[in-house]
Amino acid sequence: MKIGIPKETGDGETRVAVIPSMISVLTKNGNEVLVESGAGDRASFTDDQYREAGAEIVEDLERLYGQAAVVLKVLPPQINERMGAHEADLLRESSIFIGFMSPLTHPETVLKFASRKITGFSMEFIPRITRAQGMDALSSMATVAGYKAVLIAANQLGKFFPLLMTAAGTITPARVLVLGAGVAGLQAIATAKRLGARVEAFDPRPAVREQVESLGAGFMEMEVPKDMETSGGYAREQSDEFLKREQETIGARLGKVDAVITTAQVFGKKAPILITGEMAGKMRPGSVIVDLASEQGGNCALTEAGKTVTRHGVDIIGAVNLPSLVPFHSSQMYSRNITNLFKHLFPAKESVLDFNDEITRSACITHNGEIVNEMARKGRLP
Ligand code: NAD
């Protein structure tokens, strides 16, 4: 079987789906790996390293797509400017695509895949079960984003994060509020603590308080209804009444906070607004909000994805694709996740996809000319 690894084409994208040290996982059962020349450049992996690892470097992308039975990517298929074609059209008929497919925001790709009998596996749909943890690319990328968000906040803030006792006086530690303490939020808390900030956090899922406190952060007190978590570990969509109370609780703190990192998301829905424009206006001038939910609409009403806007002296950073700002380790982590999925799908030479398996079934979006994922078929998430 030939496996293709093209260079990512998205704006500002720096990651590569598989790094050289993982190539041997793919070649193990006699597979051949074709890597587009320069695929790893922006993540500091050279063509020579891929060659030494046993891959063939291919200049001609048409050949790579034309020969590959399986294509491994980070981003969903999109218009490839160099080829003047959509990547979903470059894939061979009946081939297999594995990557972030974002099927609900890329319905045209899902339809193309179905019509061309391409089997599409979406990294977003890896089930959150213990067995699949090593394939959980959403968590890997959220870890990177949470870390980088804090560094961006620290960089933007005109203040120190740590307590400093100097001959020029004592500097009090910065106060950081982290809203949403899932994978990204917990990493943001840990990073802000390492930098010496005083951190407080909130998440409506009941299990989170202990995790937040174990990192040495305070938990924002607020009454939370019982059924706030789905069986899949995600937060349920909250009522307007709950969000209003949450906004009031957050609002009471904003005047004392230097940086807010927002990561609150409800899988498949628009992100909840936790900070209204009016609330942001009550923050001290020079404060910073880094909004990690900006691509889902933002947790702050003033957020503009991909931009920094300044209102009433407060910088609101609409953070997008932060994993691309840490390309080496993002690629390393993603690479481990996608090769683990590959090994799971193809455990031996000439294995056949086993749709009785939960991971294979859950992650598959299209197969045999059909949209097999119910959410993608309906074009929405639960
Ligand atoms: P996510 O990116 O969907 O959401 C981020 C966080 O926002 C979540 O913690 C959510 O509870 C929180 N949130 C939603 N509405 C909010 C609101 N109004 N105010 C504040 N916070 C709000 O979630 P995620 O980080 O990808 O994962 C969530 C959880 O899933 C994890 O913490 C973990 O418990 C579970 N998980 C399990 C596995 C596994 O079992 N393999 C893997 C990864 C994650």
CA angle 318, 259, 237 (to 5 degrees): 60
Calculate how far, in angstroms, residue 183's C-alpha sits from the geometric centre of ligand 1: 6
Atom of ligand 1 nearest to the CA of 130: 41
Known catalytic membership, residue 330: no
Q: For residue range 160-206, list pLDDT tens digits in order.
A: 999 999 999 999 999 999 999 999 999 999 999 999 999 999 999 98
Let me know: does 81 contact 9? Beta carbons within 8 Å. yes
Task: Report the mean per-residue pLDDT for the chain.
Answer: 95
Q: How far is the CA of 296 from the centre of ligand 1 (A)?
A: 14
- Which numbered atom of ligand 1 lies nearest the CA of 205? 11
Q: Rg of the chain's alpha carbons, rounded to an integer?
A: 22
| pLDDT value of residue 381 | 46
Judged against a pLDDT cut of 80, whether residue 379 lies above it is answered with no
- Cβ(234) – ligand 1 distance below 6 Å: yes
- With cut-offs at 50, 70 and 90, classify the pLDDT of residue 303: very high
Q: Which two tokens stand for residue 329?
A: 């380790």
Given pLDDT bands bounded at 50, 70 and 90, which one contains residue 358? Answer: very high
- With a pLDDT cut of 90, the percent of the chain lying above it is 88
Does the annotation count 48 as an active-site position? Answer: no
Residue range 242-267: mean pLDDT, rounded: 96
Structure letter (DSSP) for residue 235: B
Q: Which one-letter DSSP state was computed for residue 155?
A: H
Beta-carbon contacts of residue 197 (< 8 Å; ≥ 6 apart)? 161, 162, 173, 174, 175, 176, 258, 259
Structure confidence at residue 131 as a pLDDT band (50, 70, 90): very high
Model confidence at 227, pLDDT cuts 50, 70, 90, reads confident
Residue 228 pLDDT: 85
Residue to substitute in 104, 128, 241 for testing ligand 1 pocket (most ligand atoms within 8 angstroms of CB): 128
Residue with tokens 């067995």: 131
Q: Using alpha carbons, select from 211, 269, 209, 260 the residue that is nearest to residue 235.
A: 269
Give the angle 353-354-360 at the CA atoms, nearest 5°.
85
Residue indicated by tokens 């939020």: 185
- Give me the domains of the chain, ranges plus CATH numbers: 2-125+330-379 (3.40.50.720), 142-320 (3.40.50.720)
What is the per-residue pLDDT across 56-78, written as a single tens digit (0 to 9) for each?
Answer: 999 999 999 999 999 999 999 99
Token pair for 57: 């470097």
Query: Does the annotation mark 234 as catalytic?
Result: yes
User: Is the C-beta atom of 179 inside 6 A of ligand 1?
Assistant: yes
Q: Are 148 and 326 in contact (CB under 8 A)?
A: yes
Cα(330)–Cα(336) distance, integer angstroms: 10
Residue 382 confidence (pLDDT) above 50: no
User: Can 136 be counted among the known catalytic residues?
Assistant: yes
Q: What pLDDT was estimated at residue 35?
A: 98
- The alpha carbon of 156 is separated from its chain's Cα centroid by a whole number of angstroms, namely 22
Tokens standing for residue 373: 């994922």
Q: Answer whether 92 contacts ligand 1 (Cβ < 6 A).
A: no
Ligand 1 and 6: CB distance under 6 A: no
Q: Determine phi and psi for 323, rounding to 5 degrees.
A: -55, -30
Tell me the mean pLDDT in the region 123-139. 96
Whether residue 142 has its Cβ less than 6 Å from ligand 1: yes
Asked if residue 232 has pLDDT above 80, the reply is: no
Most confident region among 48-52, 84-88, 238-242 by mean pLDDT: 48-52
| Relative orientation angle of helices 137-156 and 183-194, to the nearest 10 degrees | 40
pLDDT for 380 beyond 70: no
Q: Which atom of ligand 1 is nearest to the CA of 181?
A: 9
Answer whether 68's CB lies under 8 Å from 105's CB. no
The yes-or-no verdict on residue 327 having pLDDT over 50 is yes
**Residue 40 per-residue DSSP state:** T
- 7 touches ligand 1 (CB under 6 Å): no
Three-class DSSP category at 27 = helix
Active site includes 139? yes
The pLDDT score that the predictor gives to residue 105 is 87
Distance of alpha carbon 315 from alpha carbon 300, whole angstroms: 11
